[in-house]
Structure 1
Amino acid sequence: MRIPFNLPAALLLFSFACANNKMPEPKPVTEDCTPGSVTFSGQVTAIVQQDCALSGCHGSGSPYGDFNKYTDLKAKVDNGSFRNSVLEQHTPVMPPPGSTELTEAERQTLECWVNDGALQ
């Protein structure tokens, strides 16, 4: 048995099926970030306390910096280690595996904060 095949129709159907297979471009974080909108005391503290300032990590008395303190976290922002460990890694090293991962919204908030000068 021979099945009729219409090559032009098949190509047209295939082209429509593949036309919308692109993922939308991620929108830049700075698009939603207005200067002064994110501060350590406003939004960053809640993220840090939930995901970073834990016992054995970046909590009180930590040799890695107490991220409950603005000055300790700001020092890591200023020397670039915060951006490198949290924001720029394809697979960030912080928070470490087994910990609660940052959500995309939290990551964007932190990036906004860092890009705006890490205001207190």
Structure 2
Amino acid sequence: MNKLLMLGIVAFLSLQSCYYDNEEELYPQAGNCDTTSVTYSGTVSKILNQRCALSGCHLGASGQAIGIFDTHANIKTYLDAGNTVRLLDAINHRNGRSPMPKGSATKLDACDLLKIEAWIKSGYPNN
């Protein structure tokens, strides 16, 4: 009986030791993120359409959130109203803002965050 118990404990501990956290997956880095060629049409709109401009969120008439992000004109209106810091704080999960995207277990990846920030800092052009 003792041998069986010991075998069970050893097997349990052995299986537990097989788990490891991959730092790159837990804390993604921007690494080789190119923010020099960020455009609204080629970069930012794709991020917003996939993660923000969704039914019940920031999409046209169905948008329940503050701001509509489905077109450049709509996101520009939101940002022109003084909401650049609010948006950046929300997508970066900082300064007590409601973290975005809602209902998502993770925030946008580091490179996408840098691209949106670069686009906003360049005056959020419609390019």
Give the TM-score normalised by the residue count of structure 1. Answer: 0.60
Identity of aligned residues (%): 34
Q: Within 5 Å, which residues of 2 pair with 1:1-120?
A: 33-34=35-36, 37-61=37-61, 62=63, 64-87=66-89, 90=94, 92-99=97-104, 100-120=106-126
- How far 1:69 moved relative to its partner? 1.1
The answer (yes or no) to whether the contact 2:39–2:119 under 8 Å persists in 1 is yes
* RMSD over aligned Cα atoms: 2.8
**Larger-gyration structure (1/2):** 1
> Which residue of 2 is the match for residue 20 of structure 1?
none
Mapped to 2, the partners of 1:119 and 1:97 lie a distance apart of 26
CA separation of 1:38/1:66 partners in 2, compared to 1, >3 Å: closer, same or farther?
same
Mapped to 2, the partners of 1:93 and 1:86 lie a distance apart of 11
Mapped to 2, the partners of 1:89 and 1:79 lie a distance apart of 21
Give the TM-score normalised by the residue count of structure 2. Answer: 0.57
Mapped to 2, the partners of 1:94 and 1:55 lie a distance apart of 18
Number of aligned residue pairs: give it.
90
CA separation of 1:109/1:117 partners in 2, compared to 1, >3 Å: closer, same or farther?
same
Mapped to 2, the partners of 1:79 and 1:73 lie a distance apart of 10
Mapped to 2, the partners of 1:107 and 1:80 lie a distance apart of 19
Identify, as 1 or 2, the structure richer in helix.
2
What amino acid is the match of 1:111? Answer: E
